[in-house]
Structure 1
Amino acid sequence: MPRSAPRLPVPALVLLAALACGGQARAQAQAYGLDPVHTRVVFAVDHAGFSKAIGTVSGSRGTLLFDPEDWTSARLEAQVPIAALDLGDERWNRAVLGRGLLDAERYPAARFVSERIEPLDADRAAVHGTLTLRGVTRPATLEVVFNALKRHPMPPFRRTVGFSATTTLSRAEFGIDAWPSMIGDTVELRIEAEATRIRGGYGQATPAPAPAAAPDRPATGDLPLPPPPEHESEQDPTP
């Protein structure tokens, strides 16, 4: 009688099945490019205890590798054009973008790169990575909610994925420590993001360009914060 093939031990079978499933999951991961129009960063920071100053940044670009069935295979790299920040007032914008705070002339963009994805449930994950802001790189974790992955209902009907994310950071950890009695240290971030399928693969999306200064917004390096009073080192930079 022909000799039967040797049986693999159960642990080996489990390992092979896991490797096969992992290979299938990686094969299903698709590349997406962030939609700069429908991706927006909203931030809030304490203003002298009176209120939370709220600003937005539009125009973020980057690439995402994502498989909804396997969050751990996801990868994200995004650039946020800090120089496009808007607090609703030009004088306030110039003060915050100046060298005393964000120094947007020398550091016009922030960059987030994911390093590890921690699934929390079917629709939520903690995205651990690094954030580079004002030339300083620190660990950062985004709490991400998966909203949808489907064909967009408007032309060109591309497959689109959407997320909401939140995190907090300490501005002092990035060297942004001016005006501590006027501006809180904790910055709350909310991110609404959409990304569409791209053919070139992960990392092929065009990086965010440094936005040119608008005619009514001169280069931020020429706009230092207002000088402090004679016996005071902190003056409200807001108008």
Structure 2
Amino acid sequence: MRLRCQLVLISFLLLGTCAPAWAAPSQYALDPVHTRVQFAIDHAGFSKAIGTVSGSTGTIVFDPDDWNSARVEVSIPIARIDLGDAKWNQATLARNLLDAERHPVATFISTRIEPVDAQHAIVHGDLTLRGETREVALQVVLNGLKRHPLPPFRRTVGFSATAALSRADFGIDAWKSVIGDAVELRLEVEATRSRGSADAGDDSDAPDDAPDIDASAPDTPTEQTPAMPPSEQRP
């Protein structure tokens, strides 16, 4: 009996040593400087009007070995929309379009993940815009997951994503003769691993090829929107 117990104990220890260590998904905080939402929409059949929104915040829970466990929550400050012209921005934020005064923030909350392969997935979620909530599917590409090469050398994940939606689905139906209904979305996302994540202890280690840069300095200069001359034509 004693020998049998010893054999069971040895087997247990061996299995514990050889078994893979399943790490819990890490939580990442969106980098509002390097996260940008871009949209394109038809302008009277002449061109695609292109605008961007910067300053999004939120969290991503992600494990590259298990896309199904991923979760996304994002807040998008609609008031920061930029189409390259101040008066055009103002018209777009007006009540008959985005109504930014009453609905200054759009949100996206994932509901399920559809993995495609190691680098791709479809992220389904609820987009709330102008007080209306509709399901949107994001075609997501994982660009990279590694330690950032600049101080403070935090573990960073980056994604690109595309989606399509109808503005009428969100009650944005003014100016039908000038503004198209189909909206093409493109997202570029960077997120930094949050302090306290299960495996965040190695973030302070600099990469071997890290440049000698003052850690107190920001990694990029402050972004400023250049002044643009007023457009003569409005939506």
Provide structure 2 residue ranges, at least 5 long, that are not aligned to the other structure.
5-18, 198-226, 228-232
Partner residue in 1 for 2:219: none
Write the distance in 1 (CA, Å) between the matches of 2:162 and 2:77: 18
List structure 1 runs of 4+ shifted beyond 4 angstroms.
none
Partner residue in 2 for 1:58: 54
1:101 paired with 2:97, answer yes
Write the distance in 2 (CA, Å) between the matches of 1:28 and 1:159: 15
- The size of the alignment, in residue pairs, is 188
Partner residue in 2 for 1:14: none
Write the distance in 1 (CA, Å) between the matches of 2:108 and 2:196: 21
Residues 12-56 of structure 1: per-residue CA shift (max 9 Å, x gap): xxxxxxxx98xx65x431000000000000100000000000000
Partner residue in 1 for 2:172: 176
Mapping of 1:35-54 within 5 angstroms? Answer: 35-54=31-50
Shift of 1:136: 0.4
Partner residue in 1 for 2:140: 144
2:70 to 67, 70, 74: 74
Residues 88-123 of structure 1: per-residue CA shift (max 9 Å, x gap): 001100000000100001111110000100001110
Write the distance in 2 (CA, Å) between the matches of 1:86 and 1:111: 18
Shift of 1:200: 5.2
Write the distance in 1 (CA, Å) between the matches of 2:157 and 2:120: 14
Write the distance in 2 (CA, Å) between the matches of 1:196 and 1:115: 22
CA RMSD for the aligned pairs? 2.2
Provide structure 1 residue ranges, at least 5 long, that are not aligned to the other structure.
5-19, 202-215, 217-235
SS at structure 1 position matched to 2:175: coil
Partner residue in 1 for 2:8: none
Write the distance in 1 (CA, Å) between the matches of 2:111 and 2:196: 22
Residues 54-108 of structure 1: per-residue CA shift (max 9 Å, x gap): 0000000000100001000000000111100000001100000000100001111
Mapping of 1:1-239 within 5 angstroms? Answer: 25=22, 27-199=23-195, 237-238=234-235
Write the distance in 1 (CA, Å) between the matches of 2:162 and 2:126: 15
Percent identity of equivalent pairs = 67
Tell me which amino acid in the other structure corresponds to 2:58.
G
Q: TM-score, normalised by structure 1?
A: 0.74
Residues 185-227 of structure 1: per-residue CA shift (max 9 Å, x gap): 00000000000011256xxxxxxxxxxxxxx9xxxxxxxxxxx
Q: TM-score, normalised by structure 2?
A: 0.76
Tell me which amino acid in the other structure corresponds to 1:175.
G
